Structure 1
Amino acid sequence: MIKDLSDLKLKIAKILDANKASYELGKVADYIPALAEVPSNLAGVAVATIDGDVVSAGNGGIPFSIQSISKVFGLVLAMNRLGDELWTRVHMEPSGQPFNSIIQLEWEKGIPRNPVINAGALLVSDVLASHYSASKLSFVNFLRQLAGDESIHIDSSVYESEMQHGSRNAALAYLMKSFGNIESPIPDVLSHYFTQCSVAMSCEQLAKSLLFLANKGINPTNNQTVCSRKDTHRVNAILSTSGMYDQSGEFAFSVGLPAKSGVGGGIVAIVPNYGVICAWSPPLNSFGNSVVAMKVVANIAEELGLSIY
């Protein structure tokens, strides 16, 4: 692992430059119209270490829609609030189906296969909406505290776009409601879910905010416990098996780090006892993962010898 910051910055900049032209192989998500407006040639990367250092390259300081990366934060909040009871309402197995599958949810009687597919994240959103008087504000404040940055905000244009084109997520929520696995009114669940997906953060902010997962549940910037060591293990395990949609197995095989992607083009990868890598580029492959960010994270992990296996 590289300790010299100038050397690390140089290496990640070179890796980004070597891969950023690959954006032409992907396509920006357009089923959420606001995401389709983001320039496709943007690309950034950041590495945050548990020693407190953050280095970035390219557009690593530009906020983007974190989308499904938000599921990691929601899961931690829900685990802290419900404890083991959460796992009676959502399981922890890979789905083997698209992240927004309705068929699998019907087969399994309204219990999502894991908390990082859409049904699972909607279930988590229900937990938060049911147990926090102002769940959306609590969620954003949680991110601000983790990143140490009050500028983190909700992108209102993305939120409105999500609300107008969220029929499939609504269908998932109503199906779970029919099985008795959703407690809050569906509009409240959807509003929370779309809010967290619409949070805008940069690679630098995301990498810093997830350092607790690389540090046994403790935020190294202030030494505060975010979640237990046991729950840190659980979150990282779920990210290893399910965090990269239907490419999770391939990513574990080739890269070997717990990771979560989002259709906004971001990917975060947790390196236990070292830090967090976050890369971003809007164009996605057929699995919904950023073409450029996948390559950048993989190359950084290989260059620095960061696989957990």
Structure 2
Amino acid sequence: MGDKSRIEAILGKILEAVGQADDRGRPADYIEQLAYVDTRYCALSVCVANGSQISAGDHATPFSIQSISKVFTLAIALGRHGNQLWHRVGREPSNYVFNSAQALETRAGIPANPFVNSGAIVVTDSLLVSGSPRETLAEILHFVRYAASDDDIFIDGAVAASEKRTGHKNFSLAHLLRAYGNLTQECDETLGTYFHHCAIAMTCAQLARSGRFLAGVQPGGTVIAPTHLRSINALMSTCGHYNGSGEFAFRVGIPAKSGVGSSILAIVPRRASITVWSPGLDDYGNSKLGLAALEMLSERAKLSMFAVD
């Protein structure tokens, strides 16, 4: 991606450009704790393969990572269950919204992929087989802290409680999964665990570090097997932005996962782990300015995996 001074200059210009935007999108107002986050926040952080990290903007301000936690739970589940996991969840993009019950009915209780809500609920359920919700959350939090080389990462209890209060569609998905025999634990236990791992709070800099293993950069040793890294990156490329995944691939062209906490974790295999945070979502539920920022970064640093020049 170039030397540190060049990356710093690029990040500075990108933040200046997106900072002038009039339309910054809308926060996820269906989750009370996210509804009033200041949309003026904006941050970028890049971890490159040589171990350097370059951050700009509000990179030290914590936020709820929401659906980006699905990447970490999937990594743990693949490490534990391997290809057996794919008997319970598919690997295809979905044409339905991320919390669609109709999509689950259409597929007879097998979610389209691990990143739609029903798929992530199944992945969470698979982790509960070996422990209680408390033990499972401790395992997830340990994994994230290890990946980020940072123990100062926590679960925001207020956000988790807020999600539970308004999580009626997720409850309906859990009960549908249970009806189809694709949920092994009680709905309340699985969803309680799901809501809490979505409420993990991290800074932009911490989240970028936590994604290094997905780029094949694992400073503390091997986190998960290379075959599982390939699977996760492939799914991030095709399903990481819900119905906006095609648009993201077209404009940015690298594996990435978004969250309604308005952050995006993007991966350039063997080169970099990148995080952008800008509160305010587009119509697909992805960070509006985050997408614009990553598009600029991809173009200026020539990151797209589809580029031929």
Give the TM-score, by structure 1 length.
Answer: 0.96
Q: Quick check: 1:248 aligned with 2:249?
A: no
| Residue-by-residue CA offset, 1:214-242 (whole Å, 9 max, x unaligned) | 11xx51x22x1111111111101100000
Give the TM-score, by structure 2 length.
Answer: 0.96
SS in 2 for 1:150: coil
The residue number in structure 2 matching 1:123 is 122
Over 4 Å off, 4+ runs: none
The residue number in structure 2 matching 1:239 is 236
Contact 1:23 1:292 in 2 (8 A): no
Partners of 1:175 and 1:40 in 2: how far apart?
Answer: 35
Q: Offset at 1:23?
A: 6.3
Contact 2:267 2:273 in 1 (8 A): yes
The residue number in structure 1 matching 2:285 is 288
Q: Offset at 1:277?
A: 1.2
Contact 1:66 1:198 in 2 (8 A): yes
Q: How does 1:6-45 map to 2 (within 5 A)?
A: 6-22=5-21, 24-45=23-44
Partners of 1:20 and 1:110 in 2: how far apart?
Answer: 43
Partners of 2:51 and 2:128 in 1: how far apart?
Answer: 33
SS in 1 for 2:304: coil
Q: Offset at 1:203?
A: 1.2
Partners of 1:52 and 1:132 in 2: how far apart?
Answer: 35
The residue number in structure 1 matching 2:151 is 150
Q: Offset at 1:278?
A: 0.6
SS in 2 for 1:125: helix
The residue number in structure 2 matching 1:75 is 74
Structure 1: segments with no counterpart, 5+ residues: none
| Number of residue equivalences | 304
SS in 2 for 1:22: coil
Q: Offset at 1:20?
A: 2.4
Contact 2:24 2:39 in 1 (8 A): no
Partners of 1:24 and 1:107 in 2: how far apart?
Answer: 36
Partners of 1:163 and 1:94 in 2: how far apart?
Answer: 26
Q: 1:257 aligns with which of 254, 271, 295?
A: 254
The residue number in structure 1 matching 2:60 is 61
Instruction: Give the stretch that moved more between structures: 113-122 or 201-210.
Output: 201-210
Instruction: Give the stretch that moved more between structures: 125-134 or 54-63.
Output: 125-134
| Residue-by-residue CA offset, 1:82-119 (whole Å, 9 max, x unaligned) | 11110000010001110011001011111000000000
Amino acid in the other structure paired with 2:194: Y
Amino acid in the other structure paired with 1:54: Q
| Residue-by-residue CA offset, 1:22-45 (whole Å, 9 max, x unaligned) | 363411110001001211111111
Q: How does 1:127-206 map to 2 (within 5 A)?
A: 127-133=126-132, 134-206=135-207
